[in-house]
Amino acid sequence: MDNSLRELYQEVILDHSRHPRHYGALDGATHKAEGYNPLCGDRVNIYLVLDAQGRVTDIKFEGKGCAISQASASLMTEMLAGKSRVEAERLMQGFLHLVKGEDGGELPEDAREHLEVMGGLSAFPMRVKCATLAWHTFKSALEEGAQ
């Protein structure tokens, strides 16, 4: 068996894709954005509630697509709840480095432990965009998605 496939589709990822956390629309969202990849049809909608200081006090997502895109969105929502804008952006940069297999150890230790399950993607460059869709959508919700 191809170990890189086992690493990519490990149980944590399959579990998140089948039983996504923080799933659904969020009434009273202060920010939202729709993510869509026209090449493969993956969809991820992000809903946020930011407090006056810009901290993520609530986050949810809805989506449809491959296991990687949906698991990544689910993991991201777990990671970002309670984070400040600066912390969130640092996590995003760290995550992008992680899935591309690039150096850049910006991820704090707890985040690294949490997101490392996506590290197997670095062996599948064609699929990196699946994992980054949720994060890019989160960013556009932050920057352009004020309701």
Partner 1 sequence: MIPARALRLDFDSQAAARDFAILAKPVHGKRLAYLDSGASAQKPRQVFDAMRTFAESEYANVHRGVHYLSGAATDRYEAARRTVQKFLNAAREDEIVFTKGGTEAINLVAYSYLAPNIQPGDEIVLSVMEHHSNIVPWHFLRERQGAVLRWVDVRDDGSLDIESLDDAISGKTRLVAITHMSNVLGTVTPLAEIVKRAHAKGVPVLADGCQGAVHEMVDVQALDVDFYVVTGHKLYGPTGIGALYAKRAYLKAMRPFNGGGEMIREVRRERITYADPPARFEAGTPPIIQAVGLASALDYLSGFDRAAIRAHEHDLLAYAREGLRNLNWVRVIGDAPGKGAILSFEAEGMHAHDLATILDREGVAVRAGHHCAQVLMERFGVTSTTRASFALYNTKADVDALLAGLAKAREILGHG
Instruction: Kindly list the residues in this chain that would bind partner 1 in the complex (CB under 8 A).
Output: 1-2, 4-6, 8-9, 14, 18, 39-42, 64-68, 124, 126-127, 130
CB of residue 42 to partner 1, shortest distance in Å: 8
C-beta closer to partner 1: residue 8 or 33: 8
CB of residue 104 to partner 1, shortest distance in Å: 25
CB of residue 108 to partner 1, shortest distance in Å: 30
Check if the beta carbon of residue 26 is closer than 8 Å to that of residue 60. yes
The alpha carbon of 134 is separated from its chain's Cα centroid by a whole number of angstroms, namely 4
CB of residue 34 to partner 1, shortest distance in Å: 15
C-beta closer to partner 1: residue 105 or 125: 125
CA angle 45, 46, 47 (to 5 degrees): 125
Helix axes of 67-80 and 85-100: crossing angle, nearest 10 degrees: 150
C-beta closer to partner 1: residue 7 or 87: 7
Distances (CA, A) of 145 to 35, 47, 129: 12, 9, 21
* Residue 64: strand, helix, or coil: strand
C-beta closer to partner 1: residue 5 or 25: 5
- The H-or-E segment that residue 17 falls in is helix 11-18
